[in-house]
Amino acid sequence: MSFSNLGLSEKVLAAVAATGYTNPTPIQEQAIPHVLARKDVLGIAQTGTGKTAAFVLPMLTILEKGRARARMPRTLILEPTRELAAQVKENFDRYGAGQKLNVALLIGGVSFGDQDAKLMRGVDVLIATPGRLLDHTERGGLLLTGVELLVIDEADRMLDMGFIPDIERICKLVPFTRQTLFFTATMPPEIRRITEAFLHNPQKVEVSRPATTAVTVTQAQVPAGREAHEKRELLRRLLREAKDLKNAIIFCNRKREVAIVHKSLQKHGFSVGALHGDMDQPARMAALDQFRKGELPLLVASDVAARGLDIPEVSHVFNFDVPHHADDYVHRIGRTGRAGRTGTAISIVTPLDQKSMAAIEKLIGQSIPRAEGDYEVHAEVADGTERPREQRGRERSRGGRGKPQRGERRGHDRERSHEPREARQPSEARHRPEEKRGSEPRHGARPHANASHVPSIGRPEPRRQREVDTEPGDHSHLPAFLLRPVRSPAGA
């Protein structure tokens, strides 16, 4: 199956070809002909299935004819989060480059006036989050009476976020005769009800069962004490020893925790960004952008990033906190192992999380291996030897100043060349209570810093190894690419 026999216009096919895609995904193959036939569509699909292009491409074909009038958008797309809305806009920019199309993004956190000016000029595609959209309609700057096609994306998530009343209000402002495309990953009763209200004789398109996790994702759970500082310490170890780690999203349950973990990792020299809903919009966009471009290999995030965000090639997902809702787990780890790639999802599990973990395992229909203290047994030493775990365990237990064995350091020199500055300022650890004591891990052996995963983007020149670097709070085992290039002021 190729894109060429789905009924898309020449322009759109050319744009698709230019991006290098040749074959449609199942959701695209099924949905596109219905959309072009101007049928209502009920799409049941997870993100990562190519869902966005399934409506963007036919919409571009439809929009080639006709022109927008001032304040009366021709099509409207509703998204639950600002990031998702921006992502859909990028799709229109990419595939619609050859068309003179006015695409407007109506999201909160950015200038109202600019948006209003854009609406005034007439837009073909309006992509919005509900709050800001209603704000514009209430102020009279926006009329939805000219909308020919309405897309409701991530409907089940809108439900979770309490947006359904807003969505219903918006739907009342859009002509009854419109075409509606409705996408959801799951079909809870409330969603079923609104599909009956919003859709007319919809064509049902369903791909990949909900509540499944990609087979290419390796999952593990690692036990931890309930203290937050223990979890942070464990996280750092997991980051260091992770195999083939290229980049990772670290999920926390609370915005506050996101900020704390972000700051903590920064202090320990990691190159890391943060993303949560209390950050201002430019900072949110910058963090996501840097992560996408690979400028920041690590991103600490709340569930704002759990669903739908299209970040290609996330190698690892860490659950710093186990999500309280099992379906959030599925969405979070769905950020990795996309498009058939492999991925790893590691959850830090405290005794308090046992019930949530059990619910997750029940939902996904498989048990998640417990790494226990054996986790690091799988870590390879770069020179091919493996030390006894007990020995590793002792490395830091004697006042935390154990000197690593020479042999094991060899082969890591290159990766260690970007040691965190903190390593040179051991005293800094002293005003951090969590770092005061020797950092003997609670559950098993001290892991070897496994650097075998480091891509070849480290410093090329060999560097002599340092003599001693294992002051408590010293975390110099970081692969170079995980390190911050710049250091924030000490004690900040």
Binding site for DNA (CB under 7 A): 80-83, 107-109, 112, 128-135, 160-163, 253-256, 276-278, 302-304, 323-325, 328
Q: How far apart are CB 213 and DNA at their closest, in Å?
A: 19
* C-alpha span between 352 and 226 (Å, rounded): 7
For DNA, the closer CB: 132 or 446: 132
For DNA, the closer CB: 134 or 377: 134
For DNA, the closer CB: 57 or 86: 86
For DNA, the closer CB: 279 or 314: 279
CB 368 within 8 A of CB 361: yes
Q: What angle do CA 169, 170, 173 make, to 5 degrees?
A: 95
CB 299 within 8 A of CB 250: yes
Q: How far apart are CB 261 and DNA at their closest, in Å?
A: 12
Q: How far apart are CB 228 and DNA at their closest, in Å?
A: 13
For DNA, the closer CB: 251 or 375: 251
Helix, coil or strand: residue 261: helix
Kind of pairing, strands 248-251 and 103-106?
A: unpaired
* C-alpha span between 110 and 2 (Å, rounded): 39
For DNA, the closer CB: 320 or 481: 320
The closest of 133, 34, 122, 10 to 79, measured between CA atoms, is 133
Contacts for 346 with CB less than 8 Å, ≥ 6 apart: 219, 220, 221, 222, 238, 242, 316, 317, 318, 319, 371
> CA of 116: how far to CAs of 36, 55, 72, in Å?
30, 25, 12
- Compute φ and ψ for 183, nearest 5 degrees: -120, 135
Q: How far apart are CB 136 and DNA at their closest, in Å?
A: 9
For DNA, the closer CB: 323 or 420: 323
* C-alpha span between 149 and 35 (Å, rounded): 10
For DNA, the closer CB: 132 or 453: 132
For DNA, the closer CB: 217 or 304: 304
The closest of 236, 295, 228, 300 to 268, measured between CA atoms, is 236
Residue written as tokens 């800094």? Answer: 428
Residue written as tokens 């704390």? Answer: 260
For DNA, the closer CB: 10 or 280: 280
CB 279 within 8 A of CB 83: no
DSSP run (H or E) holding 84: helix 82-95
- Taken in order 371, 376, 377, 381, the sign of the CA dihedral is positive
Q: How far apart are CB 469 and DNA at their closest, in Å?
A: 36
Q: How far apart are CB 309 and DNA at their closest, in Å?
A: 11
Q: How far apart are CB 38 and DNA at their closest, in Å?
A: 29
- Enter the DSSP assignment of 363: H
* C-alpha span between 123 and 101 (Å, rounded): 8
For DNA, the closer CB: 276 or 396: 276
Q: How far apart are CB 101 and DNA at their closest, in Å?
A: 22
CB 154 within 8 A of CB 130: no
Q: How far apart are CB 310 and DNA at their closest, in Å?
A: 16
Q: How far apart are CB 153 and DNA at their closest, in Å?
A: 13
- For residue 466, the cross-strand partners are none
